[in-house]
């Protein structure tokens, strides 16, 4: 009977409402049982005085914070730990600031790690915006910095960003990195 906690954990990490069919598929359990388990989960949350509620919305199921607790969350939003950007987000912000417009793939490539989460955080905090789409098959979203970004750094315009040192590779070189995981640099791979 591990379906209920399994559903709870999936809804906890999910970025958006999860459709019943998807839960059923992931758990390999018929939709009817999932529906029952969802009802049990909702029941448990309300009976044990949890701070979370389960709701069906937007074509799926999702966990939310209890609306009557939102005043606490408003106050939490103002604390240092809630407002501070993580190191990963700061790196992504620096890349977007100096290489905009730039796609998620490019940011990930430059940083050397997947940067989806970091960009999502920056977007949520309105430091970056989607400013266009890349040409080409994928039409990847392109990000740029926002007015909030300028305001927070006390800049009037992007031209006021301090110039990077001369030894930093210019964007043209970075462009060639766009295709993920190209074969290694020919200069270092002469032996194979």
- Positions touching a copy of itself (CB under 8 A) are 2, 4-10, 12-19, 22, 25-27, 44, 48-52, 60, 63, 65-66, 69, 72-73, 75-76, 78-82, 84, 86-88, 91, 111-114, 120-121, 124-126, 129, 146, 148
Rule CB under 8 A: is residue 155 a binding residue for other proteins?
Answer: yes
Least Å from the CB of residue 47 to other proteins: 19
Backbone dihedral angles phi then psi of residue 53, each to the nearest 5 degrees: -130, 155
Q: Which of residues 71-130 bind other proteins (CB under 8 A)?
A: 73-91, 93-95, 97-99, 105, 108-114, 116-118, 120-121, 123-127, 130
3-state secondary structure of 66: coil
- Name the DSSP class of 50: -
State yes or no: residue 136 binds other proteins (CB under 8 A): yes
Shortest Å distance, C-beta 1 to other proteins: 21
- Options 29-37, 41-49, 167-175: segment touching other proteins (CB under 8 A): 167-175
From the CA atom positions of the chain, what is the Rg in Å? 22
Task: Report the phi/psi class of residue 102: left, alpha or beta, with left for phi > 0 and alpha for psi in -120 to 50.
Answer: beta
Q: Kindly give, in sequence order, each residue whose CB lies less than 8 Å from that of residue 64, ignoring residues fewer than 6 positions away.
A: 52, 53, 54, 55
What is the token pair recorded at 174? 């970075």
């Amino acid at each position: 009977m591990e379906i209920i906690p399994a559903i709870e954990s999936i809804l906890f990490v999910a970025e958006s409402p999860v459709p019943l069919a998807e839960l059923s598929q992931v758990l390999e359990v018929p939709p009817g049982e999932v529906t029952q388990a969802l009802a049990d989960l909702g029941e448990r949350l309300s009976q044990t005085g949890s701070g979370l509620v389960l709701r069906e919305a937007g074509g799926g199921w999702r966990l939310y914070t209890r609306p009557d607790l939102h005043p606490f969350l408003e106050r939490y939003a103002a604390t240092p730990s809630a407002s501070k950007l993580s190191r990963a987000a700061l790196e992504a912000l620096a890349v977007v600031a100096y290489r905009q417009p730039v796609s998620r793939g490019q940011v990930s490539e430059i940083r050397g790690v997947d940067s989806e989460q970091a960009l999502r955080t920056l977007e949520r905090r309105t430091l970056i915006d989607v400013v266009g789409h890349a040409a080409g098959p994928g039409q990847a979203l392109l990000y740029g910095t926002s007015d909030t970004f300028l305001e927070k750094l006390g800049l009037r315009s992007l031209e006021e960003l301090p110039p990077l040192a001369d030894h930093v590779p210019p964007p043209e070189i970075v462009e060639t990195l766009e295709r993920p995981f190209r074969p290694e640099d020919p200069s270092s791979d002469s032996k194979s």
